[in-house]
């Protein structure tokens, strides 16, 4: 650590003068803290004095980390504000130097690298617009729907914020799916990026959780009955009734369910997502961006570009396009508010979940035989676990060898999702 600290300042100040005799110039505290065995003559007397911090002996407290006595950045060429931060965060200097060197490979599939950043962009939009909606939204059975109507009709630009939040949620999930499949087909999950894949997979599950819990918040008829169908699903599993009870806060969907979905949507899920997202992005920075298998060896890499600022600037162009699309969709294709939920009323026709659950929804509808629903849940769970563990199963890719069997597996999963989603779309749009 002490070595790192010295390195951190090395670029800006002359190197520290070398001690005249090794060991002699070391500060008093670390030497004194050495085991008593080093000074067999007076072990008992030396130990307690060494353990006491300097402050306790009346002097100025010194942190237990060895660092230069004077400001190592005093001759630095940066502004006084920059120097203030440099002196305090000097340990980050190697990190900054590393990030400055970070490069992204350029090849015919580079385009797909932008979808992770786009997912991140739509997530940031969600946080911002969600916070604004929270200023007026009231999460109770009596007020939820009317507060939505108020936001949509009375609050200045409330309609825009609400529409952007709804559209951005869909775009975020859509981008996360594109990002997941593009990293899958480029085998970006291969060694040493296994945890990037696993953390990404958890992010997708959390994003779907956001969609599911947010759906009920307007407390309209469609959301109410869709949540009733969605929260019913675990019932077919052994012990699933307890899970249904926990999710609903009772046997039926009620205002208690709204409270639960609300707390999950604005507290638990954002907290978890931020934690996992930090790990995901840290791994991206530490391990860098991968190129598809064999591209380097066969000369298909056209060069490298700096992440800061070149790639990030291109990312920003993607974000601007994404923002334009978001505002366009919000203004031209607004989401409806619907009619207030009536727990005692009968379900309208055509109840279906959000589009990103349609594939599973269709699977449940297809397995109509005795015990079919349970089998569909088991099949889907096994599929999801295998998908999440792909980096550990695809040994060929981890040896930098092509793995066509996994490409076929990915194509089958994609086909399952697309075909089943389309089937729900076709059936329900005809109603």
CB 68 within 8 Å of CB 2: no
116 lies in the site for ligand HEM, by CB under 6 A: yes
319 lies in the site for ligand HEM, by CB under 6 A: no
Kindly report the backbone phi and psi dihedral angles of residue 221, in degrees, each rounded to the nearest multiple of 5, phi listed first. -55, -45
CB 393 within 8 Å of CB 167: no
Helices (H), 143-232: 144-153, 158-185, 194-215, 221-232
196 lies in the site for ligand HEM, by CB under 6 A: yes
187 lies in the site for ligand HEM, by CB under 6 A: no
188 lies in the site for ligand HEM, by CB under 6 A: yes
Q: Smaller CB distance to ligand HEM: residue 129 or 290?
A: 290
Residue number of the CB closest to ligand HEM reads 200
Q: Smaller CB distance to ligand HEM: residue 355 or 367?
A: 355
CB 88 within 8 Å of CB 137: no
* Cβ 180 to ligand HEM shortest distance, Å: 4
Which of these segments, 1-9, 137-145, 192-200, 224-232, binds ligand HEM (CB under 6 A)?
Answer: 192-200
* Cβ 197 to ligand HEM shortest distance, Å: 5
- Give Cα 161 distance to the centre of its chain: 22
Q: Smaller CB distance to ligand HEM: residue 117 or 214?
A: 117
* Cβ 168 to ligand HEM shortest distance, Å: 12
Interacting residues with ligand HEM between 251 and 310 (CB under 6 A): 277, 280, 284, 289-290
DSSP letter string over 356-402? GGHHHHHHHHH--STTHHHHHHHHHHHHHHHHHTHHHH-HHHHTT--
200 lies in the site for ligand HEM, by CB under 6 A: yes
* The two three-digit tokens of residue 227, written as one number: 């949540």
363 lies in the site for ligand HEM, by CB under 6 A: no
Contacts 24+ apart (CB under 8 A), 271-280: 272/206, 273/123, 273/203, 273/206, 273/207, 273/210, 276/199, 276/202, 276/203, 276/206, 277/120, 277/123, 277/203, 279/195, 279/199, 280/196, 280/199, 280/200, 280/203
One symbol per residue from 143 to 182: x for binding ligand HEM (CB under 6 A), - otherwise; what is it?
---------------------------------x--xx--
Query: In 3-state terms, what secondary structure has residue 77?
Result: coil
Q: Which parts of this chain interact with ligand HEM (CB under 6 A)?
A: 113, 115-117, 119-120, 123, 176, 179-180, 183, 188-189, 193, 196-197, 200-201, 203-204, 207, 277, 280, 284, 289-290
């Amino acid at each position: 650590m002490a070595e790192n600290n010295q390195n951190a300042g090395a670029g800006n100040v002359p190197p520290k003068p070398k001690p005249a005799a090794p060991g002699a110039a070391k500060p008093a505290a670390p030497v004194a803290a050495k085991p008593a065995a080093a000074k067999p003559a007076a072990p008992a007397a030396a130990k307690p004095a060494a353990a006491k911090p300097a402050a306790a002996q009346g002097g100025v407290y010194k942190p237990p980390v060895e660092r230069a006595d004077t400001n190592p950045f005093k001759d630095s060429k940066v502004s006084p504000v920059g120097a203030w931060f440099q002196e305090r965060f000097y340990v980050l200097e190697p990190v900054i130097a590393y990030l400055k060197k970070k490069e992204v490979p350029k090849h015919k599939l580079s385009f797909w690298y932008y979808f992770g950043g786009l997912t991140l962009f739509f997530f940031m939009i969600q946080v911002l617009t969600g916070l604004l909606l929270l200023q007026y939204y009231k999460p109770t059975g009596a007020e939820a729907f009317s507060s939505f109507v108020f936001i949509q009709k009375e609050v200045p630009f409330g309609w825009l914020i609400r529409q952007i939040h709804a559209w951005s949620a869909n775009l975020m999930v859509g981008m996360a799916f594109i990002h997941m499949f593009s990293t899958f087909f480029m085998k970006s999950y291969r060694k040493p990026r296994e945890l990037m894949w696993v953390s990404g997979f958890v992010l997708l599950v959390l994003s779907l959780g956001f969609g599911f819990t947010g759906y009920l918040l307007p407390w309209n008829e469609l959301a109410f009955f869709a949540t009733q169908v969605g929260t019913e699903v675990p019932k077919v599993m052994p012990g699933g009734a307890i899970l249904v009870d926990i999710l609903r806060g009772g046997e039926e969907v009620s205002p208690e369910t709204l409270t639960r979905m609300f707390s999950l949507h604005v507290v638990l899920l954002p907290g978890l997502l931020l934690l996992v997202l930090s790990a995901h992005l840290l791994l991206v920075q530490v391990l860098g961006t991968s190129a598809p298998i064999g591209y380097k060896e066969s000369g298909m890499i056209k060069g490298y570009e700096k992440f800061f600022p070149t790639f990030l600037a291109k990312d920003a162009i993607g974000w601007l396009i994404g923002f334009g699309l978001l505002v366009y969709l919000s203004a031209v294709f607004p989401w409806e508010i619907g009619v207030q939920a009536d727990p005692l009323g009968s379900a309208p026709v055509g109840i279906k979940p959000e589009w990103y659950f349609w594939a599973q929804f269709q699977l449940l509808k297809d397995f109509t035989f005795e015990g079919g629903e349970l089998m569909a849940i088991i099949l889907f769970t096994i599929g999801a676990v295998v998908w999440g563990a792909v980096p550990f199963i695809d040994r060929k890719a981890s040896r930098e060898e092509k793995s066509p069997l996994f490409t076929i597996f990915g194509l089958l999963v994609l086909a399952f999702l697309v075909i089943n989603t389309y089937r729900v779309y076709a059936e329900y749009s005809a109603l």
